[in-house]
Structure 1
Amino acid sequence: MELIKCFKALSDKTRVRLLYVLQKYELNVNEIVLVVDMIQSGVSRHLKILMESGLLTSRRDGSFIYYSAAKNENIKTFIKLIDQSLEKEKLTGQDVKKAREMIKIRQNKTKRFFKTVAPQWDQLKKEVLGNFDLNSMIMKKISFHGNISDLGCGTGELIESLSVEVSHNLIGIDSSPEMLELARLRLSGTDNAELRLGEIEHLPMKNKEIDTAIMNMVLHHISQPEISIAEVYRVLKPGGIFILSDFEKHNQEKIKDIMGGSWLGFEKEKIKTWLTDTGFHLKTIESYPVNHGLTINVFTAKKQTFKEKR
C-alpha cells in the first residue's frame, strides 16, 4: 500500500464517505449509488480510485461486484482517523443508516424466498445434494452431550434425527416463520427440541448457552457472514464445537434460483479466515462433491478454553 496514493484518494470528501460506510458494510455498486445518492458513473470513478490506492477490496459474486474496506493494520489506522472525524457528522450517519437498509432489503428478500419455497424445501435440497446425506455426515461429527443448536434449522430435518440420539436440549433457530411452522409439525412428537424465531446475525440466545453449534448450508444466505460467525462464538461455551457446511465458491447463478442465497459459495480460505479471526481453532475441513458439479465444504472448529488460549 502506497501512503501517498491513500492520502490522495482520501483528499475527496465523497471517497472519505465511501470508505467510512464500506468499512461497516459490504455493498455492490447499485446499493452504493442509493446510499450516497450519486450517479453510477461518479460512484464507479471514486471506487476505482479507492481500489487503486489499496483502501478497498472487491469480490465478484455472479453478475455483481461487492466492495468493502481492505483489512490490514495500515488501513485500520486510516479508518480510525476517519471514524474520529466523521462519526458525529449528519451526512455519514445518514449513509450508514441507508447502508443498513440495503442489508435489510437483502434479508427481506431471503425471507420472501423461504416463504415461497418452504413446502418444497426438502425436495429442493435433494435436487442439489443428490444422494449425499449431509445430515448423517454432520451427526458423525457431533459429541452427543450438552446443548446442541441447529442455526438456520429450516424444516427441522436435522433436529429430528438428533432427537433420537440426544437426551439434552436441542435448540433450532430460523428467521422464517414458514420454515419453523413446518419444523414444529415435524417435531410435534419430540420432547427435547425447542424452536426459536430469530436472525442468525442476532441469535436469540444467551452468552455461552450451548455446547455444539451447527450451521448447515446457511452461511450463503447471510449478507454479513462475519457477524453470524461472531454470534456463534458468543453463544458457544469454551471448548464448544462449531460445525459449518456450505458450498465451495462457484459461478452457477441457477443455484440461487433453486436454493436462494446472497453468495455463490465461499473459498475455503475465506471461511478459514473468518473462523480464526473470530477466535476459533479450526480442526478440520472436508469436501464432498454433490450435484451440478458443486462441492460442499464442512468445517469443524473449536472455541478454545482460557487455558488453551494462553
Structure 2
Amino acid sequence: MLENASSPLPWFKALADATRLRLVRILSRHELSVGEIVAVLGMGQSRVSRHLGILVGCGLLASRREGAWTFYSAAAGGEQAALLAALAPWLAAAGPEADLTAVAAVLRERRQETRRFFNAIAPDWATLRREVLGDLDPGDLVRAVMPETVALAADLGCGPGELLPVLAERAAAVIGVDSSPSMLALAERRTAGLPVGVRMGELEHLPMADGEADFLVVCLTLHHLPDPAAALAEARRVLADAGRLVVIDFAAHEDEAMRRRFGDRWLGFSREKLSEWLDRAGFDLADWSEHPVNRGLVAARAVAVPRQPVRQGEPHERHAA
C-alpha cells in the first residue's frame, strides 16, 4: 500500500510506539517545551526529540518556535486532530499515571517560578516596566475604552496595583488579583482609602464568582502565564454578559532578552493567536490597536466582549475587528 497525503498509515505507524503514545497523551492536554517534556518522561533529549520529530512529521503534533524555545502540542485541526479525538478514550490510558503527575509538577513549578520572580522584583517593577513602555501609559489605554460608570471592575494580574486607582475613577468597586504576595502588599498600600480589594489567586483559577465583574483588565500579564487560553476562559466566566474585557500585551516579537530580564514566558502574541484564544473562550474581538514602545516592541490593546447567544432564526455575526 502506497503512503499518500490522504492515507492514515503514517499516523498509525507513528502511534505504534509506547513512548509516542505517552507523548500524544500528555501533549493533548498541555503545550510543553522540549525541556519540560524531557523532565516529564525522564528520557534523554535526543531520544525525546527523535520521537517528537516523527509525530510532527506526520502531523499528529504541532511545534511552535518562539525565540530559543520550541513548544509542542497535539494537532488542533484537520484529519489528525479528528483521529486523536476519536482515539481519546484509549489515549487516556496510553501511559503511566506518573506522567500526568509529572506534568502537574512541571506546571506547578512554572507558576512557582513566576511567583518567586515577581516577589523578588516587586519593589523595582514600576521602574522595569517604564524601561520597556517608555512614555506609554497603560492607564490611558484603559480609560479610552472604559465605560463612564461601572459597578465592579477587576485587574487580573494587577502586580503592584498601578491600574487599580484608574479603575476606581469610574468603578464603584475594584478588585485586584495576583499570585504574588509581595505585589499584592504594594497594591494594598497604593490603594489605601479607595474602594479597592485585593485577592490572591492564579489567573487560570480566579478567586471570583461567575459573572461578578462588569469590566476586566489583563495588562502585560498573559505573556507570563503557562496557559493564557485558560486565563481568558476564566475571564469569560467571571465577566457579566454585558461586560467588557481589555487585554494589553506585547505583539509577537523575537527579543529573547525579555525572558531573562522580565521573566516572560511568551514573546508576545500575534493578533491571530489572541483572536483564536478569545474566540475559544467565548469572546468577540471588538477592537485592536497597536502602540510602539521601547526596545523595538509594540504594545497591543485588544477589546473583547462576550459573545451573545444566537437567537433562533438569526444569523451569527461576530464583531469586525
TM, length-normalised to structure 1: 0.94
Does structure 2 conserve the Cα–Cα contact (< 8 Å) formed by 1:86 and 1:92?
no
Q: Which residue of the partner structure matches residue 165 of structure 2?
A: 160
1:217 CA drift (Å): 0.5
Distance 1:206 1:9 in 2: 44
1:138 maps to 2:142: yes
Pair 1:102 & 2:94 matched: no
Greater length-normalized contact order (CA 8 Å, ≥ 6 residues apart): 1
1:30 equivalent among 35, 39, 59: 35
Tell me which residue corresponds to 1:17: 22
Please list, as runs of the form range in 1=range in 2, the aligned pairs for 1:138-287 lying within 5 A after superposition: 138-143=142-147, 144-166=149-171, 168-190=172-194, 192-287=195-290
DSSP-derived class of the 1:305 partner = coil
Structure 2: distance between partners of 1:255 and 1:14: 34
SS state of the match for residue 150, structure 2?
coil
Report the Cα offset of residue 85 of structure 1: 1.5
Cα distance in structure 2, aligned partners of 1:140 and 1:126: 20
Contact 2:141 2:301 in 1 (8 A): no
1: distance between equivalents of 2:229 and 2:170? 31
Amino acid of the structure 1 residue aligned with 2:50? R
Contact 2:158–2:176 (CA<8 Å) still a contact in 1? yes
Letter in 1 for 2:261: I
Indicate which of 47, 51, 60 corresponds to 1:55.
60
| Distance (whole Å) between structure 2 residues aligned to residue 232 and residue 92 of structure 1 | 33
Q: Match of 2:319?
A: none
Question: Take 1:307 and 1:13, find their aligned partners in 2: how far apart are those partners?
Answer: 45
Which structure features the higher share of helix residues? Answer: 1
Between the aligned partners of 1:248 and 1:305, the Cα distance in structure 2 is 27
Residue 241 of structure 1 aligns with an amino acid whose one-letter code is R
2:92 aligned with 1:87: yes
CA contact (8 A) 1:283 1:301 kept: yes
3-state SS in 2 of match to 1:287: strand
Q: Specify which of 108, 118, 134 is matched with residue 114 of structure 1.
A: 118
Deviation for aligned residue 1:33: 1.3
How far residue 75 of structure 1 moved from its aligned partner, in angstroms, is: 3.2
* TM-score calculated relative to the size of structure 2: 0.91
AA partner of residue 72 (structure 1): G
**Unmatched runs of 5 consecutive residues or more in structure 1:** none
How far does the alpha carbon of each residue in 1:12-67 deviate from its partner, in whole angstroms, 9 at most, with x for none?
Answer: 12111101100111111121112112221111111000001111111122211110
**2:19 corresponds to which letter in structure 1?**
T
| CA deviation vs aligned residue, 1:176-205 (integer Å, no higher than 9, x gap) | 000000001111121x11110000010001
Structure-1 separation of matches of 2:89 and 2:298: 44
The letter of the residue matching 2:245 is F
The alpha-carbon deviation at position 73 of structure 1 amounts to 5.0
Q: How many residues align?
A: 307
Q: String of CA shifts for 1:66-87, please: whole Å, max 9, x gaps.
A: 1001101533433234431243
Aligned-pair identity in percent equals 38
Distance 2:297 2:131 in 1: 12
Mapped to 2, the partners of 1:70 and 1:239 lie a distance apart of 34
Kept in 1, the 8 Å contact 2:150–2:170? The answer is no
- Structure 2: distance between partners of 1:27 and 1:281: 28
Instruction: Tell which deviates more after alignment, 101-110 or 300-309.
Output: 300-309
Looking at structure 2, the residues matched to 271 and 26 of structure 1 have their Cα atoms a distance apart, in angstroms, of: 16
* Contact 2:60 2:81 survives alignment (8 Å): no
Looking at structure 1, the residues matched to 210 and 84 of structure 2 have their Cα atoms a distance apart, in angstroms, of: 29
Taking the aligned partners of 1:153 and 1:59, their CA distance within structure 2 comes to 29
Matched, 1:75 2:83: no
The residue type paired with residue 125 of structure 1 is R
Separation in 1, partners of 2:193, 2:34: 49
Q: Note if contact 2:31-2:71 (Cα within 8 Å) is conserved in structure 1.
A: yes
